[in-house]
Chain A
Amino acid sequence: MKPKTPLLPLGIAGQVALLSGVLALVMLASRPLLPAVAALCILLTLAGFQPPEPRRLLHPRRLLLLLLLALPPLFLLGPRNAHWHRLHYSATGAATAMQIALRFTVVMLAVEGFTRTLSISELAGFLERLGLRGLGFSLGVALNLLPALQNSSQTTWHALQMRGGLRKQKRRALSYLVITILSNTLRRAEAIALAAEARAFTPQRARAWPITRRPLDKWLAASLLAALLTLLIYQ
């Protein structure tokens, strides 16, 4: 299925600014202002990033985490001076629980939208332009290595288990495990480095990953900065 295009046409800088701005706003907003700030942040996130998949967003693990974070204050923080039907809860706790739920929702939506909209290579390209030269190349190598490393670690672990696991001579077995995993990693790295050098690749001469720029980026970054300053002064 083709991903939906975000409502606000933003470049990479705009998307990074949107994520940072939304996170800063929602974390710095005081309790009375939080509902309004959170609503604004959710609107901006939905407009600036690809809308998140409901299946991923409403994953039971996430909902459980939200409940675990938000429910305890409802009953444990302050006296239980309010009630809903026959359920008695603390009014102060309810305010705190609401605050937690709002912050959690905004952070989850923003990070989820950001990672859905932006690819890891685009982000690496952006960071390279900020001075982290070679990060794009390294990240590409790391991403390609990831499945191979996971496989090799699992194979090493299974091999160790077949030879008695960690039951006998725990320290020696553990050191064999660590050394084998690290040696395999180094061997793969060596092969990649040789291949890159054989193709005369140097990070200094490499073309940086192209980043998209949109006119709205600067305006959005400036508006978010202004909103942040206003919030800090107003509070």
Chain B
Amino acid sequence: MDLNDTPEQAAYRTEVRAWLEQNAPHAPATRGRGDEEQAVAAHRAWQRRLAEAGYVGVTWPAEHGGQGKGPLHQVVINQEIARAGVPGILDAIGVGMLGPTIIAHGSDEQKQRYLAPMLHGDEVWCQLFSEPAAGSDLAGIQTRARKDDDGSWRISGQKVWTTNAQFASYGLLLARTDADAHKHKGLTMFIVPMDAEGVTIRPLRQISGEPEFNEVFFDDVKLEPGSEVGAVNGGWGVALTTLMFERLTIGAGSEGMGYRADRFARAIASDPVAAKDPEVRARFGELATELLALRFTGYRLLTAISRGQIPGPEAGMGKITAVNGAIAAGDLIADVLGPEALDPESEWSYLISFLPGLKSAGGTEEILRNTVGERVLGLPPEPRLDKGIPFSELRAKERQEVAS
């Protein structure tokens, strides 16, 4: 059992650390309000600088501009970026999840056209999967893609929870191409230019007041022939690849979420009365137990990843531990600090407001527990209405159930 770097990782860490020390003056502020356009431009330039140094997409194959290295190299970069107190790349979603999906399923032309600008931050990407009526049950999406005679496509529908859509150049979009097939079988993945006619992007403000996400509307948006990624009606398999890389990205970055016991300890220890109060200590000790467990479960996950294993659904349990641990921490800190903790400028106010939504992000706690119960523990599945029927009949069946 050893948390130390191998000699090769240590050498890489030294190299990355030295580079970051030298280049940190060029990094934008980690979190700022104010002029978004300026902030995005600065963040974009930072990604380009990192990419030119070979620190973006290190796990991508060399032929697509990556370094062909293992996931632990990415972990080293994430850790060193966190240590240096500088932001990561602007397009973590593109480089971490969508690029690898295109590498796995895209055509040669798509790889040639899109990957290099993505890596350098010249073209940012967004993920267009979830919809107002399909989140946990992603295969229930309703956005339609209809093929015209000339091979082009027409997209109509709505997506939601879209991070970075407001400045993204492209989106990876899951749409329904065959409503008469079973819900998983009639889906296709597309590349959508976000400046196409008929695309409308609206910011979605969260509890904190910050627009963390967007809604994206598609009104008969035309896509060129060849915009599909992977086979027509093979979109579910492509989406699963993206979700697998999402787990990998979260696994490799779990330390970077900032929900660490030592961080919360500093806030509580700043009040010497609270630091000796038995009730505060009991609450803090309980949540610190959870967050320490999260950190060291993360190391087990990284060990598995470094051996080439893909994290299974059990990795989702870490999100449950993280969110609930952080909720308990925010609650305790507010109890200790009083109303001051809820000052809009306070980091705790932001944390407290951010977490209720995070409980549903990336799969609700309930759906994660269903998946783990069925896939990891082998418990029998819930009975479901949507087995073996075409998607087009599903809605009618659901309405019928509601009426009865």
Physical interaction between A and B: no
Question: Which B residues have a C-beta under 8 Å from some C-beta of A?
Answer: none
